[in-house]
Structure 1
């Protein structure tokens, strides 16, 4: 039985926008990773790790995993804490 994780990817830290953070991703976990002795990279002969499925909602991703009998781990996104500040707050303390 395959094991996968369902999550929303983090936003790019180099940009302030929230683009491409509304899709849910289903990724398979790597089985038996090995270390390449020449380069030191992690590798595997498991080709399922290359599959990355996008879904428009969490429910669709869960339904797909249940339909295909995939064990999955659901990783809920953390809520951003937004602190509204004014430029004048720099001079008021």
Structure 2
């Protein structure tokens, strides 16, 4: 069983920082999704794609994965780069 651990990204429609301090453990899909011939919906028999575990820290998520024998890959968070500029810079 493989999984990935990452920090929840900020939503594009979100200006605040609610829920961005959570770490998520998601399982890697075991099989590809295929279209249902009757309805056209995409689906698969892999139910682990529906599981999403939330943890307060990266260490807690990694400890859970180690405890249950899940090989997890941690995706690090890129550093935030703020572009500091004044309103007057728009008129230069």
Q: Smaller-chain TM-score range?
A: 0.7 to 0.9
Paired with 1:49 and 1:15, the residues of 2 have a C-alpha distance of 25
Aligned partner of 2:46 in structure 1 is 46
Moved more, 26-35 or 62-71: 26-35
Q: How far is 1:67 from its partner?
A: 0.5
**Correspondence list, 1:34-73, <5 A:** 34-38=33-37, 39=40, 41=42, 43-73=43-73
Indicate the SS of the match to 1:17: coil
Moved more, 82-91 or 57-66: 82-91
Moved more, 7-16 or 70-79: 7-16
Moved over 3 A (4+): none
Q: How far is 1:87 from its partner?
A: 1.0
Q: How far is 1:60 from its partner?
A: 0.4
Normalising by structure 1, what TM-score?
Answer: 0.87
Please tell me whether the aligned partners of residues 4 and 29 of structure 1 are also in contact (alpha carbons under 8 angstroms): yes
Unaligned runs of at least 5 residues, structure 2: none
Paired with 1:34 and 1:14, the residues of 2 have a C-alpha distance of 28
Aligned partner of 2:80 in structure 1 is 80
Normalising by structure 2, what TM-score?
Answer: 0.88
Please list the CA deviations of residues 38-84 of structure 1 after superposition, one character each: whole Å capped at 9, or x if unmatched. Answer: 3152x221211111100000000001100000011110011121011
Paired with 2:55 and 2:41, the residues of 1 have a C-alpha distance of 34
Question: For the aligned residues, what is the CA RMSD?
Answer: 1.4
